[in-house]
A and B are shown apart, each in its own frame.
Chain A
Amino acid sequence: MANIFPRWSNWLPLKIVFCLLVLGGGVSAGVWYYLNPEYMRVGYQPAQPVPFSHKIHAGQLNMDCRYCHSFVETSAYSNIPTTQVCMNCHSQIQRENPKLEPVRESWKTGKPIEWVQIHKTPEHVYFHHSVHVNRGVSCVSCHGKVNEMDVVYHAESHSMAWCLSCHNNPSEFLRPVSEVTNLDWKPEAGKSQHEIGAALVEQWHVNPPVKNCAGCHR
């Protein structure tokens, strides 16, 4: 009696298993890499309705972040400035600049400027700006060197693991509260970030929620 299955079929199950493993591994690796906030979010740089340059305002002119984001120290949200804030200066300066046309238009009509959101926390996460900036976490830690960005982009991943990397080791990131909005701050000569941070953790009783889910998820 002839063999029902040809010879090559002996290896078939192993081949199938191998293929499935490769396929499964590939899909996993793909998901791991591509669906990760590191890939999905970092670098997101949408065009804004007004070509506003942080590089000019925060870098060149050295304006404080809090001139425009005025409630960052009191509220959970760091507010986007009103048209009025733009017009505080631009009713005098660059009055004819065509790039500012949308701002003048908004001021005239009362219709707000619709900025495109870049940093978005998921809906089950309650991030609070004021508690961070009042306790020595600099803007730069989460938003990158905005003072060097012509067009703002998503600089950090903002994943939960990324959050926890600081919550677990606050000493690596903390700085004096007065330097929070100084994006170019460097630890003073002779001292490392860790030394400064560890001293502040000790001195301020810094105890960020680490195992307390309710710190961020309510």
Chain B
Amino acid sequence: MSKRIFQHPAESQTGKRYWRSLGQLQDTPEFRTWMHREFPQGASELEGNEVSRRGFLQFMGASVALAGLSLSACRRPLKNLVPFTKAVEWSVPGKALFFTSVMPSRNGGLPLVVTTFDGRPTKIEGNPLHPVNQGTTDVWAQSSILDLYDPQRSKGVLAHGKASDYKAFDVELDSLLKAAGDGAGLAFLADGSHSPTRERLRQEILRKFPKAKWASYEANGHELEVAAAALAFGEGSEVVQRLDRADILVTVDRDILGVEGDIAAIRGFAARRKVDGPKTKMNRLYVVENRYTLTGGMSDHRLRLAASRSGAFLKALAKEVAKLSGDQALASLAANLKVADTKFKDKWVEECAADLVANKGKALVLAGRKQPVAVQALAFALNASLGGLGKTLEVRKSTVAPAASIAALAEELRKGATKALFILGGNPVFNAPSDVHWAEAQAKASVVVHLSIEQNETSAKSHWHLPAAHYLEQWEDSLASDGSYVVGQPVIMPLYSGINANELLAKVAGIAADALELVRETFIKVTGAQGDASASWAKTLKSGFAEGSKAKAINASLRTEALAKAMVESAPLRLADNDFELVFITDSKVDDGRYANNGWLQELPDPITKLTWDNAALMSPAAGKKLGVDTGDVVRISVGEKSVDIAALILPGHADDSISVAVGYGRTEVGSIGRSVGVDVFPLMTSSESRFRTGVSVSKTGKRHALAVTQEHGALEGRGADLTRQATAAEWTENAANPNFFKKMGIDAHAPENFSLYTHPPLNDVHAWGMAVDLNSCIGCAACMTACQAENNIPIVGKEQVINGREMHWMRTDRYFASEGGDEDEPEMVSQPMMCQQCENAPCETVCPVNATVHSEDGLNVMAYNRCIGTRYCANNCPFKVRRFNFFDYNQRSITNLYRWNLISEKGTPDTIQMQKNPNVTVRMRGVMEKCTFCVQRIQEAKIAAKVVAKDSGEQPRVPADTFTSACAQVCPTDAIVFGDLRNPQSRLAKLKEDQRGYRLLEYLNTENRVWYLARIRNPNPKMPDASRAGSASKGGHGHGHDGGHGNASSETGGHA
């Protein structure tokens, strides 16, 4: 037997390398510190601004003295049990109740099932019956439960900034409406909504006040896409991208799998990435974008290109497609698009076009939703030419009635004739384009009424502020993205007397009906139900949506003439040469600023940059060099007379002549979580240039700003290529017969067979819990992290603590860049969810001096918090760095008061935040270790249910296959995470585990993980110029090159002996 390798060999500096950050690539001292320590330097030490040693002793003395005092008064605390007076229907103390509901969003309502305990909602899941999301949700839906309980929500009516009430408001409203006449003085500005009830009330109001103005505004909306669809297919039409039908996908400046898509699109894409074997036909994704997005991370071919050059790229692509397919109409359209021809990698465009033409009817080209109308219309024309209409690109009647733009409304307001302006949701003072000068325009209205869930910048400039009900507090309805009618059921009474927009509109329309009656009336109209409709209403509430209400696709044809005209008239796009463009990106967390006070979202690392509690100017390493700045250097970005100062963040894979900044940060009128977080870049945005601005000058200011970036946290020494494995479809086909192809990559190809010096007690339960993560369909969206946070009562720790590496997320999504020879400019990107691997031979267990972490018979590595004394040995011995330590009492102290604790300082959690906590999970205290439990509370509940069912029947109690799942698996929009019972041959997991792509992390450590990863397969087009780079398996990364032949480990063990 060859000698054991106990030391992980140094990573080779040649060949393909996987890296998390530029720091790792350049092997900076800072990075080495992160890597060598489980917790970073200083994480476990007191710092200057914390309690000094002297102060600590004083407090200790005081607490001993107080303990003496209080002992004398030591009595058993009296606790009361308070039952209901009358039993409440369905309510069983201790049992969860589930209600269907819907989360409104600008992409259409997201159908939900809300978990409630004793009348308080604690967790949100997708509605498994609804075809759009099939039980899955996203980051925003998961964290919206925290918004409900936000103690800094708007709590009452304000009149001119002073507390008032609805009575006073009704009096004012009455006098306004009496004087309104034909409504010429009335104006409404609504946020993006798909609510049929709101639409119905709008029509009622317009009937009563025919001259009232109605506008709508969403800072990150898609009005331009709507305009382009209207241009291409006629007024009132909207497009639906059918990613599930597309074999070839080209996205140009469109993050369809991230912030510019919805779950239906993500699921459609992922459906084509589920592979059984090399013979499964995968889709192919070409991505053209200025910065790395989730879509770019999933790409098979990626071209980094400034957003302002997207039009030129589409023009070149359309020309090439026209040439190949002989489509004269398309050729002339493309030729007429007023954009300067730009040189691209010709081969790239040619081969991409050839691939599209070869897959007519199965190809889909997507342009950015905020690209100019002519550019988007050209993309529609391209799809029509490729035979995609009605197949990959469906057209349907728009589900949202058109409304005026905010700019048009501002013009109207400036005329000064507006008596009353109603702002329904939104925050236009903060996020309207700067050239609209909204605050100024709004001030011209005699009375401004603002309905909002929080007191924001707009409330501060309004005469009346009304608290809005959270969507879980009041009856609402919405259309899902497939156009089906979904009812939003309240699951709790309004906490702070909020009303929703429908109730306010009903007041204006003079309809005396409450929110429920309003929705029911719409329901009857939409479904055409007869009589009192109570049967179909009850059925709809149960399933969550009205069956058969899905919108139907229409037969649309391209309006070629209108398009031709639009191309000619299109405003010339300015191109930046030797200059920077500034791209406004939708933030994956705070959106347009609306979620700024949500701590879960602020602390969630951005899926790409891993930045928390901030926004930053993203730029490429080359741009950074050119400007002389590094991550954390503050740069001044100026356009025209306006400028903002913002920290730079160097991001590999970014276009060199482009700088991206997320909007929505830098809120001023907001709760304590979101105040002064990041920098507001809305002042630089204009209504005609809402996506990008050219002619931007950027300069270094010399100042520094600390960014809380988690990308180096939890880094594992040179193991990127070991941890995330991938291969191309061609490589897989070649090795289809080799069961070890993926299992023996990297160091595992060299390590001799494992043997163990230790034995452990048999894991002989009837269940064996495990997990599989399909890296081929994981897009890295981090919904799992938020779901885990909501399910497992994970606290937030604040920016300073994140910088110190003390974030508490039980799972993280590791984002790796990979490139040959450490190329920083055009690396590939891979995301990998990482949680406790539930090792059967768990290294953490052997070092715990108090047996606080031990193994259960069903294979879980369990934590007994009450035993933990906080030595942190377990974390030090964890090869995956997945253990988290409560350095402070994060659940008892607010994040601003962590250091200022003493015996008399404020302690405790606001009542409403306590209401969110999952009652089945311990809220951990300071000084204990915690980690992913595989949602043990759900496991135990399922096991108990199985035992109760078995009762005295004599049957072996066994949880039926796939009847419950962990929070991360349940939320996953792509079903990439599968949790289940390895011992049950019927379970999905048992099958996935046998997949050829399945491998376990660091197998050579013999930890016998219970988590399997399924290797990623890329599907590059062999004819493409960059095909050789895309996603190939890591070869020869450890000093001696095997060319692909990692099959036979046993014969190749000599390498490092």
- If A76-B95, A212-B856 are given as contacts, then 5 extra A-B residue pairs at C-beta distance below 8 Å, sorted by A number, are A71-B95, A79-B94, A82-B83, A112-B83, A176-B952
In angstroms, Cα B951 to Cα A176, docked, is: 10
Q: How far is the CB of A108 from the nearest CB of chain B, in Å? A: 10
Of B81, B87, B947, which is within 8 A of A115 by CB?
B81
- Asked if A130 is an interface residue, CB under 8 A from chain B, the answer is yes
- Asked if B514 is an interface residue, CB under 8 A from chain A, the answer is no
Contacts of B76 in A (CB 8 A): 40, 44
Please tell me if the beta carbons of A82 and B86 are within 8 angstroms of each other in the complex: yes
Most chain A beta-carbon neighbours within 10 Å: one of B79, B85, B866? B85
Give residues in B with beta carbon < 8 Å to A. Answer: 76, 78-87, 92-95, 761, 765, 854, 856-858, 860, 862-866, 920-922, 933, 936-937, 939-940, 944, 947-948, 950-952, 954-957
In angstroms, Cα B80 to Cα A193, docked, is: 36
In angstroms, Cα B937 to Cα A168, docked, is: 22
Q: Given A130-B948, A215-B940, A217-B922 in contact, is the A77-B94 Cβ separation under 8 Å?
A: yes
- What string of 1s and 0s marks CB contacts (under 8 Å) between A176-203 and chain B? 1100000000000000000000001001
Q: Given A75-B93, A218-B937 in contact, is the A211-B854 Cβ separation under 8 Å?
A: yes
In angstroms, Cα B81 to Cα A79, docked, is: 9
Please tell me if the beta carbons of B948 and A131 are within 8 angstroms of each other in the complex: yes
Q: How far is the CB of A72 from the nearest CB of chain B, in Å? A: 10
Q: Given A81-B83, A107-B85, A117-B81 in contact, is the A75-B854 Cβ separation under 8 Å?
A: no
22 contacts between A and B (CB under 8 A): A44-B76, A71-B92, A73-B948, A76-B95, A81-B83, A83-B86, A84-B86, A106-B85, A113-B82, A115-B80, A115-B82, A123-B922, A126-B920, A130-B944, A135-B947, A135-B951, A213-B864, A214-B856, A214-B936, A214-B939, A215-B940, A217-B866
Please tell me if the beta carbons of A213 and B95 are within 8 angstroms of each other in the complex: no
Please tell me if the beta carbons of A76 and B94 are within 8 angstroms of each other in the complex: yes
Contacts of B78 in A (CB 8 A): 46, 116
Of A135, A205, A212, which is within 8 A of B862 by CB?
A212
In angstroms, Cα B954 to Cα A176, docked, is: 12
Contacts of B860 in A (CB 8 A): 212, 214
Q: Given A77-B94, A213-B862 in contact, is the A131-B83 Cβ separation under 8 Å?
A: no
Please tell me if the beta carbons of A205 and B956 are within 8 angstroms of each other in the complex: yes
Most chain A beta-carbon neighbours within 10 Å: one of B83, B936, B947? B83
- Asked if A170 is an interface residue, CB under 8 A from chain B, the answer is no
Q: How far is the CB of B111 from the nearest CB of chain A, in Å? A: 28
Q: Given A80-B81, A177-B952 in contact, is the A218-B940 Cβ separation under 8 Å?
A: yes
Instruction: List the A residue with the shortest CB-CB distance to B947.
Output: A131
Instruction: List the B residue with the shortest CB-CB distance to A122.
Output: B866
Q: How far is the CB of B342 from the nearest CB of chain A, in Å? A: 59
Contacts of B85 in A (CB 8 A): 82-84, 106-107, 110-112
Contacts of B920 in A (CB 8 A): 126, 218
Please tell me if the beta carbons of A82 and B862 are within 8 angstroms of each other in the complex: no
In angstroms, Cα B856 to Cα A188, docked, is: 37
Q: Given A131-B944, A134-B947 in contact, is the A114-B82 Cβ separation under 8 Å?
A: yes
Q: How far is the CB of B874 from the nearest CB of chain A, in Å? A: 14
In angstroms, Cα B92 to Cα A49, docked, is: 24
Contacts of B950 in A (CB 8 A): 204-205
In angstroms, Cα B761 to Cα A207, docked, is: 16
In angstroms, Cα B84 to Cα A191, docked, is: 44
Please tell me if the beta carbons of B952 and A83 are within 8 angstroms of each other in the complex: no
Of A40, A73, A124, A136, which is within 8 A of B922 by CB?
A124
How many A-B contacts are there with CB distance less than 8 Å?
139
Please tell me if the beta carbons of B93 and A128 are within 8 angstroms of each other in the complex: no
Interface SS of A by simple majority = loop
Interface SS of B by simple majority = loop
Instruction: List the A residue with the shortest CB-CB distance to B861.
Output: A214
- Asked if A120 is an interface residue, CB under 8 A from chain B, the answer is yes
Contacts of B921 in A (CB 8 A): 218
Of A79, A85, A214, which is within 8 A of B93 by CB?
A79
Give residues in A with beta carbon < 8 Å to B. Answer: 40, 44, 46, 71, 73-77, 79-85, 106-107, 110-117, 120, 123-124, 126, 128, 130-131, 134-136, 176-177, 200, 203-205, 207, 209, 211-215, 217-218
Of B80, B87, B761, which is within 8 A of A211 by CB?
B761
Contacts of A134 in B (CB 8 A): 947-948, 951
Of A113, A123, A124, which is within 8 A of B83 by CB?
A113
In angstroms, Cα B933 to Cα A29, docked, is: 38
Instruction: List the B residue with the shortest CB-CB distance to A49.
Output: B80
Please tell me if the beta carbons of A112 and B858 are within 8 angstroms of each other in the complex: no
Instruction: List the B residue with the shortest CB-CB distance to A117.
Output: B79
Instruction: List the B residue with the shortest CB-CB distance to A129.
Output: B94
Instruction: List the A residue with the shortest CB-CB distance to B867.
Output: A213
Q: How far is the CB of B922 from the nearest CB of chain A, in Å? A: 5
Contacts of B92 in A (CB 8 A): 71, 74-75, 79
Please tell me if the beta carbons of A77 and B93 are within 8 angstroms of each other in the complex: yes
Contacts of A200 in B (CB 8 A): 952
Please tell me if the beta carbons of A177 and B951 are within 8 angstroms of each other in the complex: yes
Q: How far is the CB of A35 from the nearest CB of chain B, in Å? A: 10
List the 10 closest pairs (A to B, CB-CB), nearest first: A212-B856, A77-B94, A214-B862, A117-B79, A75-B94, A213-B864, A80-B83, A76-B94, A114-B80, A131-B944
Please tell me if the beta carbons of A82 and B84 are within 8 angstroms of each other in the complex: yes
Contacts of B951 in A (CB 8 A): 134-135, 177
Contacts of A120 in B (CB 8 A): 79
In angstroms, Cα B937 to Cα A124, docked, is: 12
Instruction: List the A residue with the shortest CB-CB distance to B862.
Output: A214
Instruction: List the B residue with the shortest CB-CB distance to A40.
Output: B76
Instruction: List the B residue with the shortest CB-CB distance to A114.
Output: B80
Q: Given A131-B944, A218-B940 in contact, is the A204-B954 Cβ separation under 8 Å?
A: yes
In angstroms, Cα B969 to Cα A95, docked, is: 56
Of A84, A116, A135, A207, which is within 8 A of B80 by CB?
A116
In angstroms, Cα B293 to Cα A7, docked, is: 86
Q: How far is the CB of A43 from the nearest CB of chain B, in Å? A: 12
Instruction: List the B residue with the shortest CB-CB distance to A180.
Output: B952
Q: How far is the CB of A145 from the nearest CB of chain B, in Å? A: 21
Instruction: List the B residue with the shortest CB-CB distance to A135.
Output: B947
Please tell me if the beta carbons of A128 and B944 are within 8 angstroms of each other in the complex: yes
Contacts of B866 in A (CB 8 A): 124, 217
In angstroms, Cα B862 to Cα A83, docked, is: 41
Most chain A beta-carbon neighbours within 10 Å: one of B86, B954, B955? B86
Q: How far is the CB of B857 from the nearest CB of chain A, in Å? A: 6
Contacts of A81 in B (CB 8 A): 83
Of A40, A75, A106, A211, which is within 8 A of B856 by CB?
A211
Contacts of A114 in B (CB 8 A): 80-82
Q: How far is the CB of B765 from the nearest CB of chain A, in Å? A: 8
Q: Given A116-B78, A135-B947, A214-B940 in contact, is the A71-B93 Cβ separation under 8 Å?
A: yes
Q: How far is the CB of A78 from the nearest CB of chain B, in Å? A: 9
Please tell me if the beta carbons of B761 and A205 are within 8 angstroms of each other in the complex: no
Q: How far is the CB of B526 from the nearest CB of chain A, in Å? A: 37
Q: How far is the CB of B879 from the nearest CB of chain A, in Å? A: 22
In angstroms, Cα B92 to Cα A203, docked, is: 31
Q: How far is the CB of A209 from the nearest CB of chain B, in Å? A: 8
In angstroms, Cα B940 to Cα A176, docked, is: 24
Instruction: List the A residue with the shortest CB-CB distance to B88.
Output: A82
Instruction: List the A residue with the shortest CB-CB distance to B82.
Output: A112
Q: How far is the CB of A77 from the nearest CB of chain B, in Å? A: 4
Please tell me if the beta carbons of B952 and A82 are within 8 angstroms of each other in the complex: no
Q: How far is the CB of B81 from the nearest CB of chain A, in Å? A: 5
Please tell me if the beta carbons of B87 and A82 are within 8 angstroms of each other in the complex: yes
Contacts of B858 in A (CB 8 A): 212
Instruction: List the B residue with the shortest CB-CB distance to A108.
Output: B85
Please tell me if the beta carbons of A205 and B856 are within 8 angstroms of each other in the complex: no
Q: Given A75-B95, A79-B93, A136-B952 in contact, is the A212-B857 Cβ separation under 8 Å?
A: yes
Please tell me if the beta carbons of B80 and A217 are within 8 angstroms of each other in the complex: no
In angstroms, Cα B403 to Cα A213, docked, is: 59
In angstroms, Cα B920 to Cα A218, docked, is: 7
Please tell me if the beta carbons of B865 and A217 are within 8 angstroms of each other in the complex: yes
Please tell me if the beta carbons of A115 and B83 are within 8 angstroms of each other in the complex: yes
Contacts of B95 in A (CB 8 A): 71, 74-76
Contacts of A111 in B (CB 8 A): 85
